[in-house]
Each structure stands twice: as C-alpha cells, then as structure tokens.
Structure 1
Amino acid sequence: MSPKVTEEHKEQRKREIVEAAKRVFKRKGFAQATMHDIVEESGMSRGGVYMYFSSKEEIFDAILEQNDAELFAGIREMVDRHETMWGVVEEFIEMAEHELPNVTHDIGPVVYEVLMGSWRDEEKRALAKQRYQQTVDMYVSILQHGVESGEFRPILPIEDIAKSTLSFIDGLTLHILHLGRESINLRGQLTALKAYLRHALQVQGGGDGM
C-alpha cells in the first residue's frame, strides 16, 4: 500500500475502535468497561487494537476529541445558516429540546461519569476545566458577534450569560439522568431559558417564541 493509503487505513481502524468503545461505554459505563470488552466489540485482534490504543483512557480521550470537533463544527454550520445570532441561540435551545430526552442513549452520560465523577483527580479536573472554557469561549464569540452588530445590548457580561446557559443545560442533563425525563418539564424549562436569554441579551427586534 502507498503511504497515503496506509494512513487512511490507520485512521479508519482507529475510528472503528473508537466507535466500538462508544458502544461498550454506553452499554456498560466507563468504570465497568474493559479493554477486553472493546477488543471483542471491535472484532479485531487484541494486538490490532493495542497497536492504536494502550488503554480505555486513551480511547476515551479520542472520543472527547471527536465529540468536541463535531460540536464546534456543528456550531459553525449553525452560525452560517442564520442571518442573526439570536437565530443561532434559538436553534441551540431547539437542539437541546430535541436531544436531551435521548441523552441516556448517548455518550454524554459517560463523559459526565468520567469527568465529573473524578473530581478528586487533578488531571481529570484540568481536562474538564479546559473543555469547559473552550465551550464558553465559543458561545461568547457568538454573543459578541450579536453585540457588535447591534443585535444584542446585554445587561450582564456576556461571559456570565454564556456560563449560566451552559450551567442550565448541564443541570437539565443531570436531572434527566438521575430523575428521568418524565420528572421535569423540559419544554417549560427551555422556554424559561429562552426568556432569560432574551432579557439578559436585550435582543433588538422581533423573534419567534418556542
């Protein structure tokens, strides 16, 4: 095989291992999952998997990297689709309403298990802080565009608005995981979040309700 094909083959194998690990983590959780489980799920030999990843922690890091890349790419596409930043905010809330009810079937709970359940681990805490700040910065940049265009005239610092929004979504996620989605009025709470954001940002002009 040519070097190019070889690299493509390696990347494909890594993706297959990562996808196999996602299925295992979703099914068993991170703590109970083993490399043996991932090897069996992947259908590869033990040596074939260990050629790319030496531990489930390494695979988890690759999953985080993939998820973050997909999130940021999705937000960029969202920004490109809308003429206004308020439109982006509305779609973000609509996306939460669509995705949160199915969060127990996603990889999200595993991320919470590893990062939030390991708060005594300084390395994990540092990783969680880094990812959190990256996400905050991304939302701040969206809000800042709205401020610069005159669309938003916030009455609070936009970084605080971004952080409170993320805290709200994280809180809903944890409530669904621990209490079940039937225990919360998801639509009502997201409507309240939207009302808060409209007021905090002092959105200029009209806008649809949820």
Structure 2
Amino acid sequence: MPPSVSEKYKEEKKRNIINSALICFAEKGFETATIDDIVVHSGFSKGTIYNYFSSKDEIYLEVLHTATKNDIDVITNKFSVLRTALSKINYLFDLYLNIDLNNQKRLGFTVVFYEFTLHCTREKKLLELLTKRRNFFIHLISEAIKEGQASGEFNKNIQADTYSHLFWTIIDGINLQVVYKGFPYYDVLREMKEAYIEKLKN
C-alpha cells in the first residue's frame, strides 16, 4: 500500500509547478514555453505535472484564479473602510501608480498576462473565463461610480458602465506601453487619473 500524501504536501508541489511555469512563461513567452520546459525548470517528471494539471492553459488559469481571489479580497476589504466614492477611485489608480517598474519579474508576468489574454481569443471557453473575471472588476468600479453619483460626488449624467470600461482601458493601455524603454509611465498615468476624475466630477 503506497504511503498517503498530505494535502499540505500536494499543495506545496502544486505551487512549485506553478512557480516554475510562470518563470518559463515569462522567459520564453506563453505560446513558446512547453510542458517540457516546465519539467526541466521544476525538476518534476512530466507525469507528476500532469497529475496536477492537464495543460499549460490550466496552469495559468490556476494562477489567474488565485491572483483574482487575492485582488478581490484586498480591494473589497479596502473599499469597506473608504468612506467616499472618490477615495475608492483614487485608491484603484494609486495601486498602479505605486507599482515598481524596475521589478523585472513583475514586468515579465505582466507581459504573460496580456499574451495569455490574446491567446484566449482563439479559445471560446478560456475567453469566457477571462471575461467573467473582467466583468467582476467592471462591476466593481461601476458600483463605485454609481455610489458617487448618488452622494453628489460625481456627475449624474455620465454612464457608470462606460466609465468603468474606460478605467480598465486606461490601465490595460498603459501597462502595454511599459515594454517600451523610456515610456513615462507615472507621468502619463497621473495625467490620465486627473483627467478621468475631473470628468467624473463635471
């Protein structure tokens, strides 16, 4: 009878596979990296990896699920103590203004995220999962804007859903620009933040 394996051991092995996969994706690109690359980097056999994940898509979806859950927890907890809609919008912008652009590991993961997003356009089920994730964050900002309209902080005539989509369009757009050397990320984002909030108020 084979020895039993604890849940803690399995979770640790799963995290090790995920971490190795992320490094491979960041170094080689999501499309180019293979399960064999993950085998070499992790030191696990291909069979071991397939015991936990059926494909590299599934590995990245697990990463995305964990990151999304963490983001939701952090943001909703913060929103619960912020007293105004404006402070919530400021907080979300500041999350990105406080990013360390010198962190190459983070830059690599950002590139992988957008690469995977484009990859999902060819896979209906993957795109549905990614859309569900995005819809949560769209709803989050839309509700904050509606709260601001109800309190008199924001213009009642603007379309909350449209401006929620606009926020994430700004964030996605500016994140894609960081691959260009010399791009003034912080200056541009500050300007975009100021213009966005000014439009919400007027």
Which TM class, normalised by the smaller chain length? 0.7 to 0.9
Change (3 A) 1:120 1:34: closer
| Match of residue 134 from structure 1 | 136
Distance 1:162 1:176, change over 3 A: same
List runs of 5+ in structure 2 lacking aligned partners.
Answer: none
CA distance change for structure 1 residues 145 and 19 in 2, over 3 Å: closer, same or farther? farther
Q: Which among 174, 177, 180 is matched to residue 175 of structure 1?
A: 177
Q: How many residues align?
A: 198
Query: How far is 1:7 from its partner?
Result: 2.6
1 CA distance for matches of 2:154 and 2:92?
17
Aligned-residue sequence identity (percent) comes to 26
Instruction: Name which of structure 1's ranges 141-150 and 16-25 shifts more when overlaid on structure 2.
Output: 141-150
Cα distance in structure 2, aligned partners of 1:110 and 1:163 = 22
Q: Which runs of 4+ in 1 moved over 4 A?
A: none
Task: For 1:150 and 1:103, locate their aligned partners in 2 and report how far apart those are by CA, in whole Å.
Answer: 40
Q: Aligned equivalents of 1:29 and 1:55: distance in 2?
A: 15
SS in 2 for 1:30: coil
Q: Does 1:159 align with 2:146?
A: no
Q: Which amino acid aligns with 1:159?
A: D
**Deviation readout 1:17-44 (Å, 9 max, x if unpaired):** 1122111111211112111221232233
C-alpha displacement at 1:198, in angstroms? 2.3
**What TM-score does the superposition give when structure 1 sets the normalisation length?**
0.80
The answer on 1:189 being equivalent to 2:191 is no
Q: Is this contact kept in 1: 2:21–2:59, CA < 8 A?
A: yes
Contact 2:142–2:161, Cα closer than 8 Å, also in 1: yes
CA offsets per residue over residues 124-178 of structure 1, 9 Å max, x none? Answer: 433333332222012222333333444434431111111101001111111222x
Which residue matches 1:10?
Answer: 10
Greater CA drift, 161-170 or 105-114? 105-114
Residue 206 of structure 1: aligned partner: none
Instruction: Note the residue ranges of structure 1 that are not aligned, 5 or more in a row.
Output: 204-210
> Does the C-alpha gap of structure 1 residues 81 and 20 become closer, same or farther in structure 2, counting only changes over 3 Å?
farther
Three-state SS of the structure 1 residue aligned to 2:30 is: coil
My pick for the range that moved more, 6-15 or 132-141, is 6-15
Offset from partner CA, 1:51-107 (integer Å, 9 cap, x none) = 111221110111111121122122113213423232222122122122273576322
1:92 is matched with 92
Shift of the 53–192 alpha-carbon distance from structure 1 to 2, 3 Å rule, reads: same
Is 2:64 the counterpart of 1:71? no
Which AA in structure 2 matches 1:108?
A: T
CA displacement at 1:118 relative to structure 2: 4.8
Aligned-partner Cα distance in 2 for 1:13–1:112: 26
Q: Which residue of 2 aligns with 1:143?
A: 145
- TM-score normalised according to structure 2 size: 0.83
